[in-house]
Amino acid sequence: MRALVCNEYGPPEALAIEERPLPEPGPGQLAIEVRAAGVNFPDLLMIAGKYQVKTPPPFVPGAEAAGVVTAVGEGVSRYKPGDRVIAMPLDGAFAEACIAEEHSTVPMPDGFDFVTAAGFAITYFTTAHALVQSAELQPGETLLVLGAAGGVGSAAIDLGKAMGARVIAAASSDTKLAFARELGADDTINYTTDKLNDAVKALTDGNGADVVYDPVGGELAQAALRATAWHGRYLVIGFASGEIPALPANLALLKEASIVGVWWGTWAARDPAGQLDNMRFLAGLLAEGKIRPRVTESYAFDDFEAAFAAISDRRAQGKVVLSF
């Protein structure tokens, strides 16, 4: 099979497509013929050796795939060859076939094609955990989303609206904000041209946002924490800006605000029942047409560099996917 291989930590240009033997499933595992694989910001961190979990090279990156089960290992009870699934291995998805644990695989929702399915799991599962368990977002509350046109940001707009929140989308360009409006954002803020904190206050009668969803970090983080309302929840999702912010604790005291860390993958492994509840919740919203995941860019496997560049050049809107 053809696989994208990281032979040493570095930029996407250092990856190479190589021939690898077809992987065999071990106990509790499935072998999957990959039809499409989602590209996520953490993939860039993984291949650069900067992710919080490090896989030593050589390895095949890729953490989410949609495809067809070709074989099951001993003890697998929920899947059989021919089933269409979404798999979330820690790595290995950027290949014509991958191995996934049964417990990190879900059936493909009805009505999904492989490309849409490959871009769904990580962004929506992360966001469901963030908004349901971490923020306890309530209908009628105001949700401020930074990096709102990106992968997790666009999922936060979609899910925030479905949960009954008023969503303020914040991003670096008017083009991205137009996309955020298409996704359902009620209001928008361009944080390249406007001061984030002032703009949020102006849109909320001075109250601030009840929940702030921040996948960007860096210099925006302090302004975003200042923009929380009384008893606001500031969600630490990620640091796409490349800078981990240091936040003054007095800002939390002044609002009785909470700074809440969100690490979906580890939470899901520690609380499989909670993850199952979230999956049922999302499946219900999908069936009712209340959420609509968007893949905006789908690249052929050989064009992997262009797919990674869409993310590293800060251009991506919605999800980027590789298809096989």
Ligand X SMILES: NC(=O)c1ccc[n+]([C@@H]2O[C@H](COP(=O)([O-])OP(=O)(O)OC[C@H]3O[C@@H](n4cnc5c(N)ncnc54)[C@H](OP(=O)(O)O)[C@@H]3O)[C@@H](O)[C@H]2O)c1
Binding site for ligand X (CB under 6 A): 40-42, 122, 126, 147, 149-153, 171-172, 176, 215-216, 237-242, 262-265, 311, 314, 316
Let me know: does 126 contact 92? Beta carbons within 8 Å.
Answer: no
Least CB distance to ligand X at residue 42 (A): 4
b/e per residue 281-311 (b: at least 16 CB within 10 A): ebeebbeeeebebebebbbebeebeebbbbb
Least CB distance to ligand X at residue 178 (A): 12
Q: Whose Cβ is closer to ligand X: residue 13's or residue 256's?
A: 13
CA distances from 316 to 160, 264, 312 (A): 20, 22, 8
Least CB distance to ligand X at residue 127 (A): 9
CA distance 108 to 87: 9
Question: Using CB atoms, what's the residue nearest to ligand X?
Answer: 150
Q: Whose Cβ is closer to ligand X: residue 15's or residue 237's?
A: 237
Let me know: does 188 contact 177? Beta carbons within 8 Å.
Answer: yes
Q: Whose Cβ is closer to ligand X: residue 5's or residue 237's?
A: 237
Least CB distance to ligand X at residue 27 (A): 28
What lies within 8 Å, CB to CB, of 55 at 6+ separation is 46, 90, 91
Strand residues in the chain grouped as ranges (E): 2-5, 16-19, 29-39, 65-72, 84-87, 97-101, 105-107, 142-145, 166-171, 187-190, 209-214, 228-236, 258-261, 295-300, 319-323
Least CB distance to ligand X at residue 308 (A): 10
Q: Whose Cβ is closer to ligand X: residue 126's or residue 278's?
A: 126
Q: Whose Cβ is closer to ligand X: residue 176's or residue 233's?
A: 176
Let me know: does 231 contact 211? Beta carbons within 8 Å.
Answer: no
Least CB distance to ligand X at residue 91 (A): 15
Least CB distance to ligand X at residue 40 (A): 4
What is the β-pairing status of strands 319-323 and 29-39? Answer: antiparallel
Q: Whose Cβ is closer to ligand X: residue 219's or residue 303's?
A: 219
Q: Whose Cβ is closer to ligand X: residue 210's or residue 297's?
A: 297
